[in-house]
Structure 1
Amino acid sequence: MVLAVGAAGAGYWVLAGVVLAAVVAVLVSRLPSLGTGQLDRYTGGVARLAQLVVFAIVFGAYVVPSQSSYAAGALVVLVVAADFAGLRLPAVLVRWLTVVLLVAAAVLVVLCAVVPPVVTFDGVGAPNVPAVVVAALVVLPFLLPSKGERLRAVTLAVVAVLVTVVALVQLGPIRLGLAETSFRDLLYAADAGQLQPLLTVVAVLATVPAALTTFTDARERFAPSGGLPSVAGGVVAAAAAAFAPVYAVLLVAGLATVVELVLRTRLRRYGDVHE
């Protein structure tokens, strides 16, 4: 879905946007975490709430396509309830989920690489620079690892670039840009439609745990004391998941992430000055 938004504006040049986002994600992986000031907490909270909404929208589109909006809103409500109930994912489970998702991405890349594409290559054309920047903006929030995880940043960057390449080769930018569930179309294009049920399972594994950990992080940054502000954030996120267009949510996530990186860079420079 993120690639679809990027490809809709940038065409084949969405790959340049993904590469740009990947490079930025790797370069900033060693920046310090956000501070505890109000601007830092609000920025971190907004960025993560927007990411939560994207995860919920993707969940609804892939898992309950007939009622995707309701499913997306319901997922946010369940995540908020689980967080307030104290549910936390063990670190070992998160690591194993990451491995499973990386294996799934590798399988997808291999399938697309061995099957000749049906789409005819029409030429790249001149780059639409603003569209490339927007593509990088909407991809960036989902490539940033936690502080200091350079290896994870590199891994996510490589996977994102490879998946973008095979998606463009198999579907072309027009079909990719029009596909709300582009990975379903990608499996059909790779002559692997029988793996659709497995894709649904992968979508659940990719979105539900990420939604829970993302909301927990958002609550801790936006409203560390809990209570009404965090409930309000959950309500807004649920409403956005059910009714907001994914393009708008991705822009909010991207812009908030850029502001967060500026704040983190400021903290890095402040620390260097005082050493």
Structure 2
Amino acid sequence: MRLGGGLLVALAAGAAGAGWWLLAGLVLAAIAAGVTAGLPEPGDTLVDRVAVAVARLAEVAVYAIAFGAYVFPAHRALAAAAFAVVVAGAGFAGPKLPTIVVRAVGGLLLAAGAALVAVCVAVLPVGTSDGLRPPDFAGVLVAAVLVLPFLRPAGRGRAGLRALLLGAVAVLAAFAALYQLGAVRLGLSPTSLRDLLSAADADALQPLLTAVAVVATVVPAFAAGTEVRARTGLPGLAGLAAAAAAASLLPVLPALVIAGLAAVIELLLRVRARRYSGTRE
């Protein structure tokens, strides 16, 4: 569910830094997510609660930026701020999403992703000047960090396998985008997926992409708002205001970097929780 909203902007940011080696970054992120998926959730200390809340709020900012860029490009900053306040605020105030809704949205986004990959692979791309550069290990690592927050699977059952499957979906989507646009063109704009449809002679699908962008950002942002409330209570409202400000002021790359670093910190806290539980046992 989180993956669709993240890939709307993360693929372009990753390609801008890593080129075709974005694929290696996605594989690295998928392995990290799969290996750590079975770790326990962070504890209930103040540090744990604040760290998780910051991670969710950073994701909200990314979803808000993607929503503004794809749905209201003429007023993206205002739309991003309003999105963070309204959608995440509704999640903060409202009940947890039913599991059936989460699964239905996940299935819809997977179907949309499969259709996008099929369209891009079926149409021969216009020749690009991109070449496979020597591996940029820093670029690969940054690409992995940018995508890592969105590979976290919902629920606990077979979480590692589901994280790896999400990673495979991300790799397929990235390959289709790179194949059709090339790394340079893909990395030029956060809304390069619109260029992707144009390059694949599929402009008729642009309204569908807008609808997918709405669903892919609204649902995980709502869920993130619910988790912020569970972790922080009323003080989380200040965090929502900060997320709205960040969404309206920050470019997408800093927002993605903050979300990625917050995800890494959360992962380290989960490792600590595992060690602590093992010591107690």
> What band does the TM-score fall into relative to the shorter chain?
over 0.9
> Contact 2:91 / 2:224 at 8 angstroms: preserved in 1?
no
SS of residue in 2 equivalent to 1:195: helix
Matched length: 271
Q: CA deviation at 1:3?
A: 1.0
For residue 260 of structure 2, what is the aligned residue in structure 1? 254
SS of residue in 2 equivalent to 1:5: helix
Instruction: Deviation per CA, 1:170-225: give whole Å up to 9, x if none.
Output: 1111101102212111111111111000111111110011111012112322x1xx
Distance in 2 between the 1:119 and 1:73 partners? Answer: 39
For residue 156 of structure 1, what is the aligned residue in structure 2? 166
Q: CA deviation at 1:159?
A: 0.5
TM-score with structure 2 length normalisation? 0.92
> Contact 2:94 / 2:226 at 8 angstroms: preserved in 1?
no
> Contact 2:92 / 2:229 at 8 angstroms: preserved in 1?
no
Are 2:246 and 1:240 equivalent residues in the alignment?
A: yes
Q: Which amino acid aligns with 2:71?
A: V
**Aligned pair partner of 1:199 in 205, 209, 216:** 209
Instruction: Deviation per CA, 1:4-39: give whole Å up to 9, x if none.
Output: 111111111111111111111111111111110111
**Aligned pair partner of 1:168 in 166, 178, 183:** 178
Distance in 1 between the 2:14 and 2:80 partners? Answer: 21
> Contact 1:179 / 1:185 at 8 angstroms: preserved in 2?
no
> Contact 1:145 / 1:153 at 8 angstroms: preserved in 2?
yes
Distance in 1 between the 2:92 and 2:12 partners? Answer: 34
Q: Which amino acid aligns with 2:245?
A: A
Q: CA deviation at 1:86?
A: 2.0
Distance in 2 between the 1:147 and 1:39 partners? Answer: 23
CA shift in 2, pair 1:196/1:30, >3 Å: same
Q: CA deviation at 1:87?
A: 4.3
Q: CA RMSD in A?
A: 1.4
Q: Which runs of 4+ in 1 moved over 4 A?
A: none
CA shift in 2, pair 1:6/1:103, >3 Å: same
For residue 64 of structure 1, what is the aligned residue in structure 2? 72
Give percent identity, aligned residues only. Answer: 52
CA shift in 2, pair 1:240/1:122, >3 Å: closer
Distance in 2 between the 1:215 and 1:236 partners? Answer: 13
Q: CA deviation at 1:90?
A: 1.8
For residue 51 of structure 1, what is the aligned residue in structure 2? 59
Are 2:30 and 1:29 equivalent residues in the alignment?
A: no
**Aligned pair partner of 2:115 in 84, 89, 107:** 107
> Contact 1:219 / 1:230 at 8 angstroms: preserved in 2?
yes
Distance in 2 between the 1:205 and 1:79 partners? Answer: 11
Distance in 2 between the 1:115 and 1:247 partners? Answer: 30
Consecutive unaligned residues of structure 1, counting only runs of 5 or more, are none
Distance in 2 between the 1:57 and 1:236 partners? Answer: 14
Distance in 2 between the 1:81 and 1:215 partners? Answer: 6
